[in-house]
Amino acid sequence: MSRSRQQVVRMLALVPYLQGNDGVPVNEVAAEFGVTPKTIRDDLKLLMYTGTGEYAGELIDFDLTALERDGVVHIRDAEFMTRPLRISTREGAALIVALRTLRASASGLELTVIDSALAKLESAVGDTASTSVDVVLDDVDPTIHGAVVEALTGGKRLALTYATVSRDEQTDRDVDPRRLFTEQGKLYLEAWCLKAEDLRFFRLDRIVAADVLAIDAEPHDATPRDLSEGFFTVGEQTPFAVVDLHPRAHWLTEYYQVDLVSQGEDGVWRAKLYGADWSWLRRLVLRNAGSVTVIEPAALRERVVDDARLALEAYDEVVVHKES
C-alpha cells in the first residue's frame, strides 16, 4: 500500500480510537499504529482541517497545549463523525462522477469497493440529478495495469520496459511506484526511477512490460509534483523554447509538454518545450546543463548563458579561496 493510502487508512482509524481513549499519550498512539510520534502529530495537524464545514463545531479539533506540553491527545468537536452524513443532490452527483473516474483506473478488490459505493450513491441520488457521465480512458493492457496495482498495493518494486514518445526506442528500468492517476484521458504511474534517480511519470499505454519484483519499494525523499492544475495546457500564449535534447535529456519528453520537431542521427532531438513561464523554462534548462541546449528565443538562450557563466565564476572563486 502506498504511503498516502496508509495515511488515509490510519487517519480514518485515528478518530474513533481517540474518541474512545481521550487523554492517551501520543507515544502510546504511535506505538498502537506502528509509526513515529512525529507522524501522529502530523496526522493530527491535518485532521484539524477535516470536518463537515469551516466553523467551530464543524471541524475536528485537538488541545494543542496538552499535546505540546504534556504529550497527550484530547480530541474535540468530532461528534459529527457518529452522525449520518447528509449530502445534497449536487454533491451526490459530483461524488458519482468522481467515483466513476476513480473506477476507470482501479482494478481487483478496488472495483468491488467502488462499485458498492457507486450503487448506494446512485440509488440515493435517483433520477433527480443528471449523472449520465461516462469516464473514458485510453485502453491499457490489463496485465500491465494489474501488475502496477499489485506493486502499489503490496509496496513492491516494478521492472518496466517503457517505450519512448517516438516508440522507436524501449528502455528497461526498475521503479518504486508511488501513485496512479488519470490526466486528459490517460493513465499515469508516478514512480521513483532508479535509472534516473528521480521521480518520473509513466503512461501506462506506453509500458510494454511490467513485472512485480520480490524487492520492497523504498521510500525516497522527493516532493511529488503538484498536479492541482493538471499538466501544462498549451495555448497561443503558452511560453515555449526550441531546444536540442541530447540523449540524457530524452526523458523530458515523457515528463513535460513537448512537441518533437526532428530527431537527428546523432541522437539529438529538436523539440518545442512548453512551460508555465520563462523563469520555469530557464531553471529547467539550467538543471539539465549539458543535456539541453536552447536554440530560440535568443533572449532565453542569452539568459541561460549568463546564469551559467555567473555560476562558474562563483565556483571558481570558492575553489581559489579554498586553495589559498
CATH code, domain with 17: 1.10.10
202-224 burial, b if ≥16 CB within 10 A, otherwise e? bbbbbbeebebeeeebeeeeeee
User: How many Å separate Cα 161 from the centre of its chain?
Assistant: 21
Domain boundary at 45, 60, 82, which? Answer: 82
Domain count along the chain: 4
In a domain, 59, yes or no: yes
In a domain, 133, yes or no: no
Q: Do residue 107 and residue 62 come from a single domain?
A: no
Write down the pTM of the prediction.
0.45
Distances (CA, A) of 122 to 64, 99, 109: 41, 11, 20
User: How many Å separate Cα 121 from the centre of its chain?
Assistant: 27
In a domain, 222, yes or no: no
In a domain, 135, yes or no: no
Distances (CA, A) of 74 to 15, 60, 120, 283: 11, 11, 34, 46
Q: Do residue 149 and residue 205 come from a single domain?
A: yes
In a domain, 262, yes or no: yes
In a domain, 221, yes or no: no
In a domain, 184, yes or no: yes
Tell me if residue 267 falls in helix, strand or coil: coil
**Nearest to 47, CA basis, from 13, 84, 9, 11:** 11
Calpha distance 49→70 (Å, rounded):
23
In a domain, 186, yes or no: yes
Q: Do residue 8 and residue 77 come from a single domain?
A: yes
Domain of 265 in residue numbering reads as 240-319
| pLDDT value of residue 237 | 66
| pLDDT value of residue 51 | 61
| pLDDT value of residue 13 | 78
Domain holding 178: CATH number? 2.30.30
Q: Do residue 146 and residue 124 come from a single domain?
A: no
Q: Do residue 206 and residue 160 come from a single domain?
A: yes
What are the per-10-residue average pLDDT scores of the chain (324 residues)?
A: 62 78 88 86 79 60 81 72 58 72 64 74 62 59 88 91 69 90 77 86 88 92 61 66 91 80 89 82 85 91 86 58 50
Q: Do residue 285 and residue 248 come from a single domain?
A: yes
Calpha distance 191→174 (Å, rounded):
10
